[in-house]
């Protein structure tokens, strides 16, 4: 095990010999790490925190701290992080709350850039990206392959749909549609399909065409959201992507950005 002599690792922490703990890191008693994790330097990992394998955490990040919630009373809540994540400098990720799910979850293959904050009870999907200074309040869900741009504040309980792209500096107070591009430069509207992102992820032209049609019905027609959904329901061969988009809208609690 590569533990720098200046690091403090509690004897009760579960740290495999394949892990590297750099200078001035602190690892608490209830931390469990998977194989081949790297804490580069000055990293604090505490609380009931479980890391998967091959995670890399950069300097001055604070992982598994108490939730920033005035109702928190020291309950034993958790943070669970998957595999192969890159967590850059000054990132903060807090545990869940008893009034929430009790756990904050980060999936696998996620890139979390510098100064990002992930609040209590958040769920971060696989392959998503949180760009520098993205700030997630409590109970936020970021679905798989979504990108949250730099300096974006996201209101509590909001969902960012799968494959969505949120432009830098955009304040998000309602759910962001899957597959969409949403930006403050467009008055915080879902202004188009994230076509380039979908192509990069191997979506076929047929899938993209079906999604493009659904977006025209949702965004470019004179129909309200309920009417647009009803029109889409009447169409045959919508495809699973459009079905997922419709389910996302129908299950929204805060409304969606259109």
Asked if pLDDT for residue 1 goes beyond 70, the answer is no
Q: Tell me the pLDDT tens digit for each residue of 101-131.
A: 999 999 999 999 999 999 999 999 999 999 9
Active site residue 52: no
Here the tokens at position 149 are 């741009």
CATH 3.40.718.10 fits 197-250, yes or no: no
Residue 57 clears pLDDT 90, i.e. is over it: yes
Mean pLDDT of 131-159: 98
Q: What is the DSSP letter of 190?
A: E
Q: Which two structure tokens, joined as six digits, stand for 32?
A: 């469990």
Asked: is 2-142 a CATH 1.20.120.530 domain? The reply is: no
Please count the other Cβ atoms lying within 10 Å of the Cβ belonging to residue 11. Answer: 5
Tokens of 228: 């647009």
* 53-67 mean pLDDT: 98
Catalytic choice (69, 121, 175, 241): 121
Pairing assessment for the beta strands 38-39 and 56-57 based on DSSP bridges: parallel
pLDDT for residue 189 is more than 90:
no
Whether 102 sits among the annotated catalytic residues: the reply is: no
Rounded mean pLDDT of 126-143?
98
What's the mean pLDDT in 163-177? 97
Closest by CA position to 48, among listed 14, 78, 92, 80: 78
The 8-class DSSP code of residue 233 comes to: H
In the chain, what are the domain boundaries? 2-142, 197-250
| 149 is annotated as an active-site residue | no
- HSE-up of residue 59 (Cα within 13 Å, Cβ side): 3
N-term to C-term CA, the chain: 51
Q: Which of 34, 64, 100, 138 is catalytic?
A: 138
CA 180 – CA 57 distance, rounded (Å): 30
Tell me what the mean pLDDT of segment 5-21 comes to.
97
Q: List, for residues 65-86, the tens digit of each pLDDT value.
A: 999 999 999 999 999 999 999 9
Query: 58, 120, 127, 139: which is the annotated catalytic residue?
Result: 120
């Amino acid at each position: 095990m590569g533990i720098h002599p200046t690091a403090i690792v509690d004897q009760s922490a579960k740290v495999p010999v394949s892990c590297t703990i750099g200078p001035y890191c602190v690892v608490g008693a209830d931390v469990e790490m998977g194989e081949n994790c790297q804490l580069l330097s000055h990293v604090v990992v505490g609380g009931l925190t479980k890391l998967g394998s091959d995670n890399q955490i950069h300097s001055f990040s604070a992982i598994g701290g108490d939730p920033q919630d005035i109702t928190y009373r020291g309950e034993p809540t958790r943070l669970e992080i998957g595999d192969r994540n890159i967590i850059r400098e000054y990132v903060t990720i807090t545990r869940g709350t008893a009034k929430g799910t009790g756990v904050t979850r980060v999936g696998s293959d996620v890139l979390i850039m510098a100064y990002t904050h992930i609040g209590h009870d958040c769920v971060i999907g696989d392959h998503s990206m949180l760009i520098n200074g993205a700030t997630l309040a409590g109970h936020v869900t970021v679905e798989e392959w979504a990108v949250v741009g730099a300096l974006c504040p996201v209101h509590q309980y909001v969902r960012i749909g799968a494959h969505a792209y949120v432009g830098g500096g955009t304040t998000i107070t309602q759910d962001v549609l899957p597959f969409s591009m949403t930006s403050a430069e467009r008055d915080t509207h879902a202004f188009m399909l994230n076509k380039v992102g979908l192509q990069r992820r191997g979506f076929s032209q047929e899938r993209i065409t079906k999604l493009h049609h659904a977006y025209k019905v949702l965004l470019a027609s004179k129909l309200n959201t309920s009417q647009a959904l009803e029109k889409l329901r009447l169409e045959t061969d919508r495809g699973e992507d459009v079905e997922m988009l419709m389910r996302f809208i129908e299950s929204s609690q805060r409304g969606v950005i259109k």
